[in-house]
Structure 1
Amino acid sequence: MSHIPALGPRGEGWVVLQVVLLGLIGFAGLARSTPQPEPWTLVGAIVGIVLLLAGAGLGLAGISGLESGDALTALPRPRDASRLVDTGAYALVRHPIYGALMLGSIGWALLRGSPAALLGAAGLFVVLDLKRRREEIWLSERYPEYAAYRTRTRRFIPWIW
């Protein structure tokens, strides 16, 4: 796993990639001008809304699970004063906020019927998984108990992945 680049002392490059992709996904969904066939529009809208709501719930649970906020950072390297959080949403998944971004981005792409946003969501999946791998290297170095937590907890989406 150590072959994943840091992209900065605290992983700043991963955050830049993440923000750029989120912006592209958002704009691609807004810019969609190709009319979709009616059944696709309805199914896409329903599935998209469900995924957006699931993503919002998972993201809020992830943020609220970081009680004091000392562990909350977009950067993959843990803060010096932080502790390993394995309760709340973090008892179900190791990276609930990343999972929320994944669910939300695919939900947005489906809601808007945007193939370009869907392609951006696929790119975001790749970036967040690589960022997760880099983050877990640093978490394993900092917290000896992380290895056990990692074996018993899913990555991004409760009960699924």
Structure 2
Amino acid sequence: MRNRSERLLGYAFVAAQSALFVVIFAPRRRRPGVQPPARRSVALRATAGLAIGTGAVVAVAGARELGADLTPMPLPREGSRLRTGGAYAVVRHPVYTGAMAASAVRGLTAGGRVRPAAAAALCALLVVKAGWEERQLRARFPDYPAYARRTPRFVPRLRAR
């Protein structure tokens, strides 16, 4: 059984990231009498859409590999196993990597000041959450330190052929 402070911190991470996702991805509200921002070029919108979609695919791939062990809480489930294959062979946190990529692109291309700030805050939060989660994984799985040494946290290594 996890102690109360671990669970509360886990819930705080989840609540904060959920609120930031809403700010970043919620449709823009049009206020009466306010001129809408200039439309971005088709090329920029298409590139941003492709980048956001790619981030979503990476996050979904990581989530699918976790299967029933998927949880927004940064605490490993009882009876779960360490995943080191598939997307987890490329980066240790593919769900966070995809979420950060999609959020950063959305924040930078949506215009205004709030969404870019929320995207930066979400990325910072996920970095902190991943570090805290990794301490939990190290305590739970004896093989985690070796896995962490050979696998980057968020950004895949480029390998020469």
Greater RCO structure (CA 8 Å; 6+ sep): 1
Partner of 1:59: 59
TM-score normalised by length of structure 1: 0.81
Q: Distance in 2 between matches of 1:70 and 1:158?
A: 25
State the AA in 1 paired with 2:51: L
Identity of aligned residues (%): 35
Task: List runs of 5+ in structure 1 lacking aligned partners.
Answer: 1-5
Partner of 1:45: 45
Does the 8 Å CA contact 1:46/1:111 hold for their aligned counterparts?
A: no
Task: Return closer, same or farther for 1:142/1:20 CA change in 2, 3 Å cut-off.
Answer: same
Task: List runs of 5+ in structure 2 lacking aligned partners.
Answer: none
Partner of 1:120: 118
Post-superposition Cα deviations, 1:48-100, rounded to whole Å, max 9, x if no partner, equal 2122111121012112222xx23211100100110000011000011111111
Q: Distance in 2 between matches of 1:25 and 1:92?
A: 27
Please state if 1:26 is matched with 2:25.
yes
Q: Distance in 2 between matches of 1:72 and 1:103?
A: 20
Q: Distance in 1 between matches of 2:117 and 2:135?
A: 28
Deviation >6 Å, runs of 4+: none
Give the number of equivalent residue pairs: 149
TM-score normalised by length of structure 2: 0.81
Partner of 1:35: 37
Give me the CA root mean square deviation.
2.2
State the AA in 2 paired with 1:85: R
Does the 8 Å CA contact 1:140/1:147 hold for their aligned counterparts?
A: yes
Does the 8 Å CA contact 1:47/1:111 hold for their aligned counterparts?
A: no
State the AA in 1 paired with 2:16: L
Partner of 1:3: none
Query: Larger Cα Rg: Structure 1 or Structure 2?
Result: 2
Q: Distance in 2 between matches of 1:17 and 1:86?
A: 28
Post-superposition Cα deviations, 1:137-156, rounded to whole Å, max 9, x if no partner, equal 00000011100111111212
Partner of 1:136: 134
Partner of 1:15: 14
Deviation at 1:106, TM superposition (A): 1.8
